Structure 1
Amino acid sequence: MRIAISTGGCGLDKFVDDRFGRCPYFVFCDSEDPQSTAEYKDNPALSGTGGAGIAAAEYMAKEKVEVLITGSLGPNALRVINGANIPAYTASEDMTLSEAILAWKEGRLTQITEAGAAHAGER
């Protein structure tokens, strides 16, 4: 499955970023072989003045993400993610990307069913 994770750095030893719309990067990888398939991309929504969560969620759909791992999702981002049928899971910002992938595979991450607070342009 194609996984996306919000992160502040490039490398599977970097940490999950809990800011979905304003994270600096996303890592995209195959759940079966994250090490050799990891692809780090700049978050195109990072520099926008508003609607970062929506823009990042639309980017997930465009990238054909099948599973999203992040800290939390604001109400608008969650609406777009749900509309794209992408299950989203919450991971702690003290987890590395590798740890988050393993936790998801082992069923230890909680699926996001309720929106967190909207950040309204906060970085």
Structure 2
Amino acid sequence: MQIRGIGAGRAKWVVRYRNQLGGYLREDQLDEVFVLRDAPDLRDSLKKYTFVEPGFAPKLVNVNTATFDELYLHPYIGKPRARIIVAYRNQHGPFKRVEDLKQIPILKVEDWEKMRPYVRCE
């Protein structure tokens, strides 16, 4: 909130999105925050004064044990992908490696690359 133009409301959205993700890994993820989409100057200011700690490990979602409700809450998964992941897991058994998600035919490569740092298999 100390950054000009970032009040309590916008700060709350930035923190909420960070928590939904499990933590920011790259500064360009700020571009995805709803209340900053139409405010490029604010995004640039925020990027200038924020950072991602080197070696930061985000909160991970286990795609083998997470329920549909737990999966769809992650911004990079959402409801359609959560349904697909759960259905594929139920049909084919647990994923052995995160890369096994690539076997889901309708999961796009760019979707997998975004969710990759946030998912795990155990």
- Identify the TM-score tier after normalising by the shorter chain: under 0.3
Q: What TM-score do the two structures reach when normalised by structure 1?
A: 0.27
Q: What TM-score do the two structures reach when normalised by structure 2?
A: 0.27
Structure with max Cα Rg? 2
Q: By percentage of residues, which structure has more strand?
A: 1
Q: By percentage of residues, which structure has more helix?
A: 2
More contact order relative to length (CA 8 Å, sep ≥ 6): 1
